[in-house]
Structure 1
Amino acid sequence: MAVAEGSIDVTANPADGWLTGRLSALMFMQFFVWGAWNVTLGLAMQTVGVGHLIANAFSVGPIASIVGSFLLGMAAARYVAPRMLMVILHLVGGAILFVLPGLVTPESGTTFVWLLLGYMILYMPTVGLANTIALKSFGERTDNFPFVRAFGTLGWITAGLIIGWAGLSASPEIFRVAAVVSVALGLYSFTLPNVASDTPRDEGVVRQVLCVEAFSLMKQRSFLIFVTCATLISIPLAMYYAYASAYVGAAGIENVGGTLAIGQMSELLFMFSMPWLYRRFGVKPLLLVGMAAWALRYALFAIGDGGDSLWAIYVGVALHGVCYDFFFVAGAIYTGTIATPKGVNAQAQGMLTLFTYGLGMLLGSQIGGLLYAQLPATPSIADWHQMWWYPAIAAAAIAILFQLTFRDDQKALGKMEAAR
């Protein structure tokens, strides 16, 4: 396979330990930046008197996923090498992060939300770009990707521990911690493997801007079903992030942060097991188990309380590793497999981010808000039980739809070629 001029042929030895270490550092910093401020932003805003803007602040992520994926993650990736985009976006983003703490005030709250939106438009495409660099670097050894991606989760956890240890959980200074690492990642990105950008095709400007080639991947029935289910399953994902902490607190658990950290630890554990599981079972079983785990989690939340059923809450939180890794990590690998023959890997990863972190999470935020609005001002554990049944039933329906309609065309093609 030809390699673009000026690019490094990193597929010759994809299992090289040095390459794995470099990509692991990339993922660690990529998610450290996000985790440093996202987890406790609501507490910080409430502390400084702009709690009424929390909903707006947490709505910018999904909106930025949609806008950023179009403008940068897909369109720009056709003309600029992924690592150079990482350099530009993280350096500019780091500069914005340094400015944000001074705007988290009652007088500048609205300006803060708008600038945060601008930052997230720069940040969200880098999630897909980081995946693209790692997957292209590993070549055919995509089963190495989950191990590298696990360091992203480790970065998120480490950021939270540092913020807590430094006593910054309720302070806008969380953005400055993220800013330092963002600038470091921007500079570090100069050293990343120089994988080739998606090759521009001989087509009109409108088709290029709208990334018609990436969206044309959905002409494949299996990929269309996957993207549809990925979008739908992101709806309950948003509800978990938004309301799990309030629910856990209503159950009488005092250490809410520590309890929810169980889910992140679980995510890290299953991330490291993904290479073996992917080789052993293939993509469809992993995706199906991931979706079924969402249904089981919310069913457990719908029966858990502060008494004899307290165990259900802990098990539901611990299922986060299965819910996230089995679907979203396996899904990123599957997307790369589908996109590589067409040469639109970066666009496809950006498109997946658009549909999941963008459209799906935005729908989840809005639907979750409607359901939450039906609860009393101070919901009891019984009120929460009623709310959780909705995402539980929805996730089960999505899993059944996926099981009945999805067929792994790539696996079937591989069997046909092996039989020749």
Structure 2
Amino acid sequence: MQIRFRLTVLSFLQFFVWGIWLISLGGYMFINFNNPVDPNLGFKIGSTYGTMGWASLFMPAIVGILADKYIRAEILLAICHFAAAISLYYASTVTTATDMITAIFMVSCFYMPTISLSNSISYSLLTKHNYDVQKSFAPIRVWGTVGFIVAEWAVDLLGWTQNNTQFYFAAAAEVCVALYCFSLPKIETIKSTEKKSFVTRLGLDAFSLFKNPTMLVFFLFAMLLGAALQITNMFGNPFLGDFGKNALYADSFAVKHSNILISLSQISETLFILAIPFFLKRFGIKQVMLISMVAWVLRFGLFGIGNPGAGLSFLVLSMIVYGMAFDFFNISGSLFVDKEAKPEIRASAQGLFMLMTNGLGAILGGAFAGKVVDVFTDATGNKDWPSIWYSFAGYALLLAILFPLVFKYKHRKDAIPDTLSH
């Protein structure tokens, strides 16, 4: 019980430090880096978020190799969090959008590997203490989402979303996480005599899945849908903040506490995950992925309709539907990959899925979304937000139309387990 509690604390802290700045970063950049008006600021914000994708392409694999062979995982996790703290402190000092791209790339290089590394530590310690990893990890991981939500609320209620105090706070929190990591039980490195190629160590064996036309189409759409994942992280906060320019909405809850409103998305995410086993067993991956795409259409479309006044209900509905849009793609897709991959490449296949979604997808989404925002921004910096969100909704709708036409997969109701056991 003690080890489960300690891993729960780790999960909470792991995502708490991310939630401090991830959602509010876009709004912070629009407020602080747009005087004089920068006609390319949307693209720069997209590029800033895209650095997480670039970092995800190579850093988790490199850190994973170090943890396997050379440095104990809990020590390496602490080092990464310390380095992320230093990078966040640097982010608090920059005064241009271009410099922020560099700063967040530095943060991402050290933070993004900690997500998989903290998971690996949890798996190892649960196994060592004779817990059923499949049953024990999910209740631990859900506290990571809780930590993210608590961080969003804290930064919002403390009034730090539009100033650099959020980065000081995040840096201090990263130091606390690093110190906590040093207190974790030892995770010994593996002195294996088995010789593996560098390709195998990087998990590139999973690229053999591309030989299967069905999996090739799946991973392609995973990348394209992954592009949608960061769009509202990037521009949800700036969108709500812009309503503050209108006297009708300046004092509204959605403007003053945009982070809290956006946090409904993460709350919804924790609830919809419970529905995944039923939907996968009843409808199969093709229909569930299609449901996710339609949910993304609604997510963006409802943002286009909504406002902090009479249209507040549309904003709330957009937050609620996010849980279905995210979980039915991200979690269901992961389960599908696990089922289709051979046992010897399952871990690598999961890495490939993450590379396509959080790596290439995030890069594509950052560049695409930033350009769309710039196209609908006039010379004075005012944005046509409805047109922006309808453009994103149109993108998701196009994917929803194409996906069932090109993804050929026959569902068997006995192919998916009743529980999230993988």
Class of the TM-score when normalised by the shorter of the 2 chains: 0.7 to 0.9
With the length of structure 2 as denominator, give the TM-score of the two structures.
Answer: 0.74
Pairing 1:361–2:362 present: yes
SS of the aligned residue for 2:67 comes to: coil
- What RMSD in Å do the two structures reach over aligned CA positions? 4.2
SS of the aligned residue for 1:266 comes to: helix
Cα distance change on mapping 1:148 and 1:99 into 2, 3 Å: closer
Cα distance change on mapping 1:140 and 1:219 into 2, 3 Å: farther
Deviates more, 1:259-268 or 1:96-105: 96-105
SS of the aligned residue for 1:407 comes to: coil
Query: 165, 172, 181: which one pairs with 2:164?
Result: 172
Task: Tell me, yes or no, if the aligned pair for 1:290 and 1:322 is still in contact at 8 Å.
Answer: yes
> In the alignment, which residue of structure 2 is the partner of 1:124?
112
Query: 31, 35, 41: which one pairs with 2:19?
Result: 35
With the length of structure 1 as denominator, give the TM-score of the two structures.
Answer: 0.75
**Superposed displacement of residue 361, structure 1:** 1.9
Query: 77, 82, 102: which one pairs with 2:64?
Result: 77
> In the alignment, which residue of structure 1 is the partner of 2:289?
287
> In the alignment, which residue of structure 1 is the partner of 2:387?
386
Task: Tell me, yes or no, if the aligned pair for 2:17 and 2:170 is still in contact at 8 Å.
Answer: yes
Q: How does 1:396-407 map to 2 (within 5 A)?
A: 396-404=397-405, 405=407, 407=409
> In the alignment, which residue of structure 1 is the partner of 2:221?
229
> In the alignment, which residue of structure 1 is the partner of 2:323?
321
Q: Distance in 1 between matches of 2:382 and 2:223?
A: 30
> In the alignment, which residue of structure 2 is the partner of 1:5?
none
Q: Distance in 1 between matches of 2:412 and 2:212?
A: 11
SS of the aligned residue for 2:85 comes to: helix
Q: How does 1:263-274 map to 2 (within 5 A)?
A: 263-271=265-273, 274=276
Deviations 1:43-77 (A, max 9, x none): 5567776877896466344334334432x322442
Deviations 1:71-114 (A, max 9, x none): x3224424633994464144343244246436634679866653
Q: Distance in 1 between matches of 2:408 and 2:122?
A: 26
**Superposed displacement of residue 397, structure 1:** 3.0
**Superposed displacement of residue 32, structure 1:** 0.8
Give the residue type in structure 1 aligned to 2:392.
P
> In the alignment, which residue of structure 2 is the partner of 1:7?
none
Aligned-residue sequence identity (percent) comes to: 28
Task: Tell me, yes or no, if the aligned pair for 2:205 and 2:345 is still in contact at 8 Å.
Answer: no
> In the alignment, which residue of structure 1 is the partner of 2:141?
149
**Superposed displacement of residue 232, structure 1:** 0.6
Task: Tell me, yes or no, if the aligned pair for 2:26 and 2:234 is still in contact at 8 Å.
Answer: no
> In the alignment, which residue of structure 1 is the partner of 2:298?
296
Q: Distance in 1 between matches of 2:141 and 2:376?
A: 37
SS of the aligned residue for 2:219 comes to: helix
Q: How does 1:60-209 map to 2 (within 5 A)?
A: 60-70=48-58, 72-78=59-65, 80-81=67-68, 84-85=72-73, 87-98=75-86, 100-101=88-89, 104-105=92-93, 113-132=101-120, 142=134, 146-189=138-181, 191=184, 194=187, 202=195, 204-205=197-198, 207-208=199-200
**Superposed displacement of residue 366, structure 1:** 1.6
SS of the aligned residue for 1:81 comes to: helix
**Superposed displacement of residue 319, structure 1:** 1.2
Task: Tell me, yes or no, if the aligned pair for 1:49 and 1:106 is still in contact at 8 Å.
Answer: no
Q: Distance in 2 between matches of 1:135 and 1:284?
A: 30
> In the alignment, which residue of structure 1 is the partner of 2:314?
312
Give the residue type in structure 2 aligned to 1:174.
Q
Query: 244, 261, 265: which one pairs with 1:259?
Result: 261
Give the residue type in structure 1 aligned to 2:50.
P
Deviates more, 1:300-309 or 1:222-231: 300-309
Cα distance change on mapping 1:63 and 1:169 into 2, 3 Å: closer
**Superposed displacement of residue 21, structure 1:** 4.2
Tell me the number of residue pairs that the alignment of Structure 1 and Structure 2 aligns. Answer: 395
Deviations 1:236-290 (A, max 9, x none): 2332222233433556653231332322222233245556666776655543322
> In the alignment, which residue of structure 2 is the partner of 1:213?
205
Deviates more, 1:195-204 or 1:383-392: 195-204
SS of the aligned residue for 1:38 comes to: coil
Task: Tell me, yes or no, if the aligned pair for 2:42 and 2:371 is still in contact at 8 Å.
Answer: no
Task: Tell me, yes or no, if the aligned pair for 1:149 and 1:271 is still in contact at 8 Å.
Answer: no
Q: Distance in 1 between matches of 2:219 and 2:118?
A: 20
Task: Tell me, yes or no, if the aligned pair for 2:65 and 2:201 is still in contact at 8 Å.
Answer: no
Structure 2 unpaired stretches of 5+: 418-422
Cα distance change on mapping 1:24 and 1:328 into 2, 3 Å: farther
SS of the aligned residue for 2:161 comes to: coil
Give the residue type in structure 2 aligned to 1:101.
Y
Q: Distance in 2 between matches of 1:249 and 1:193?
A: 45
Deviations 1:16-62 (A, max 9, x none): x6665454333222211111122333555677768778964663443
Task: Tell me, yes or no, if the aligned pair for 2:297 and 2:394 is still in contact at 8 Å.
Answer: yes
Pairing 1:248–2:240 present: yes
Q: Distance in 2 between matches of 1:279 and 1:192?
A: 38
Cα distance change on mapping 1:288 and 1:128 into 2, 3 Å: farther
**Superposed displacement of residue 371, structure 1:** 1.7
Give the residue type in structure 1 aligned to 2:60.
G
Q: Distance in 2 between matches of 1:406 and 1:127?
A: 33
SS of the aligned residue for 1:37 comes to: coil
**Superposed displacement of residue 151, structure 1:** 1.7
Give the residue type in structure 2 aligned to 1:73.
P
Q: Distance in 2 between matches of 1:328 and 1:272?
A: 14
Q: Distance in 2 between matches of 1:276 and 1:195?
A: 39
Query: 7, 12, 25: which one pairs with 2:9?
Result: 25
**Superposed displacement of residue 227, structure 1:** 2.2
Task: Tell me, yes or no, if the aligned pair for 1:302 and 1:388 is still in contact at 8 Å.
Answer: yes
Give the residue type in structure 2 aligned to 1:267.
E
Give the residue type in structure 2 aligned to 1:365.
G
**Superposed displacement of residue 309, structure 1:** 4.9
Task: Tell me, yes or no, if the aligned pair for 2:26 and 2:237 is still in contact at 8 Å.
Answer: no
Q: Distance in 1 between matches of 2:24 and 2:415?
A: 46
